[in-house]
Amino acid sequence: MIAAAWTVYRKELLDALRDRRTLFMVLISSVAIGPLVLMLVSSLVAGIEKRAEARELVVKGIEHAPTLNNFLLRQTYTVRAAPAGFEQALRDSKLGEPVLVVPATFEADLARGEAPVLELVSSAANQRAQTGTGAVLRLVRAFNQEQATLRLAVRGVAPAVLEAVRVEERDLADPATRAAQLATMVPFFVLMAVLYGALNAALDTTAGERERGSLEPLLMNPAARLSIVLGKWGAVASVGMLIAVLSCLSFLPGQWLLRSEALAAMFRFGVGEALAFMALLLPLAGALAALLMAIAIRCKSFKEAQANTTVVLLTVSMLPLVTVFNQEGTAPWHLWVPALAQTTLMGRVLKGEQMAWVDVGTATLVCVLLTLAALAYVTRTLRSAALK
């Protein structure tokens, strides 16, 4: 039985590896895209950092507001005059900073105690300018605070009177945790890579074999059906696992290309993390391979199987969202759901938390059980499938 399974395994693997074009597309889309996105994010973050370091403010009509100018200079900001036609530039995303518009009567209004109106011009469609508005608003608020405090002090009122409650922010996240926020997308990409890696091979060995009319002759061999199924599953799982390993490793060089130093320091993904990822993903690759085969074996054609397996693709890609939307943190049942368990545990690896062996064991056990159930189903269905 083992010999027959081995024969089937080698043939299916050879067959899958000969499908160069598909394999190439899978490699490109699943292995390269993660690091690519990482680099894009890094260049975006690097841009934001650069702007934060520059401490520059674009203002129109600063000549009307010497007090504000004085405040800004004291905050070590450089004031830059807004270019002509800045509204159009903001609309076209040509200007990357929001523009503060100062009215001509600013100084006089301020002196008379009539709150002058500052206009902060930005565009919701202009991502870069929009991210800068927060900093400008904080700056203006600080100016407000300073002016109010001065006025109260002049009238002999303690500024503390206005503050019924004081808020102090304390961020408990250490750098590793903050990095994990950014890195939450890594498990997602790796998971998708495994799924798409296994998908084609899974469909080809089941629905594809059926569509070609080669399943019936295959079953007329004296080999046991279970060994045929085991061989096929082994090949599909191997392809999935290969993609899993490659995509885990692809984040290692991807990390060296991070352009932001702060980001590179935060995004911890070393050899240890890669190995932990693989340990989590390999059983999942096996389970997904079996599950995809079980769904596809019922389908008469490759196309039908593609439509049917969309459910799996959608579910697996939506599951990580549970961790995003869930307000109560990780619920115990998360570790019993394949894909969700792996996402959760990979998240912990990235946060630098210790993985409990019980949790890893649970996730692996579920995968093994799912694999066995799916393979039993495929074995049982194989014969009726051959006859269409």
Partner 1 sequence: MIEVQALHKHFSSGRGRHLRVVLAVAGVDFTAANGCITGLLGANGAGKTTTLRIAAALIEPDAGRVLVDGIEVAAQPTQALARMGMLSDARGLYPRLTARENIVYFGRLHGMDDGAAQARAQALAEVLDMKPLLDRRTEGFSQGERMKTALARALVHDPANIVLDEPTNGLDVLATRALRDTLRRLRDEHGKCIVFSTHIMQEVERLCDHVVVVAHGRTVAVGGVAALMAQAQCSDFEEAFVKLAFEPLGAQPSAQSGGRP
Q: What spatial distance separates the first Cα and last Cα of the chain, rounded to whole Å?
A: 26
* x/- map, 18-57, partner 1, by CB under 8 A: xx--------------------------------------
Q: Which residue has the tokens 């469909």?
A: 203
Residue list 3-22, contact with partner 1 (CB under 8 A): 3-4, 7-8, 11, 14-15, 18-19
Q: Which is nearer to partner 1, 3 or 154 (CB)?
A: 3
Residue list 184-223, contact with partner 1 (CB under 8 A): 209, 212-223
| Among 124, 160, 167, 387, interactor with partner 1 by CB under 8 A | 387
H/E element holding 58? strand 56-60
Q: Which is nearer to partner 1, 284 or 382 (CB)?
A: 382
Strands (E), the chain: 56-60, 78-81, 99-101, 119-121
Least distance from C-beta 216 to partner 1, angstroms?
4
Distances in Å between the Cα of 99 and the Cα atoms of 21, 66, 182, 255, 367 are 50, 17, 29, 35, 55
Q: Which residues lie across from 60 on neighbouring strands? A: 101
Applying CB under 8 A, the span of 112-120, 146-154, 155-163, 380-388 interacting with partner 1 comes to 380-388
224 binds partner 1 (CB under 8 A): yes
Number of residues that bind partner 1 (CB under 8 A): 26
Amino acid symbol at 278: M
381 binds partner 1 (CB under 8 A): no
Token pair, residue 252, equals 């290692």
Q: Which is nearer to partner 1, 217 or 361 (CB)?
A: 217
Q: Which is nearer to partner 1, 231 or 320 (CB)?
A: 231
Helix axes 225-256, 2-18, angle to 10 degrees: 50
Least distance from C-beta 371 to partner 1, angstroms?
23
235 binds partner 1 (CB under 8 A): no
CA gap 171, 174 in Å, rounded: 8
Least distance from C-beta 194 to partner 1, angstroms?
23
Instruction: Please give the radius of gyration of the chain, using alpha carbons only, rounded to the nearest integer.
Output: 30
170 φ/ψ angles, rounded to the nearest 5 degrees = -135, 115
Q: Which is nearer to partner 1, 79 or 223 (CB)?
A: 223
Least distance from C-beta 273 to partner 1, angstroms?
36
Question: Is the separation of the CB atoms in 286 and 240 below 8 Å?
Answer: yes
Token pair, residue 15, equals 């067959």
Least distance from C-beta 210 to partner 1, angstroms?
9
CA gap 10, 17 in Å, rounded: 10
Least distance from C-beta 247 to partner 1, angstroms?
24
Least distance from C-beta 230 to partner 1, angstroms?
13
Residue list 71-130, contact with partner 1 (CB under 8 A): none
Distances in Å between the Cα of 280 and the Cα atoms of 135, 188, 267, 349, 350 are 41, 13, 20, 10, 13
The residues binding partner 1 (CB under 8 A) are 3-4, 7-8, 11, 14-15, 18-19, 209, 212-224, 383, 386-387
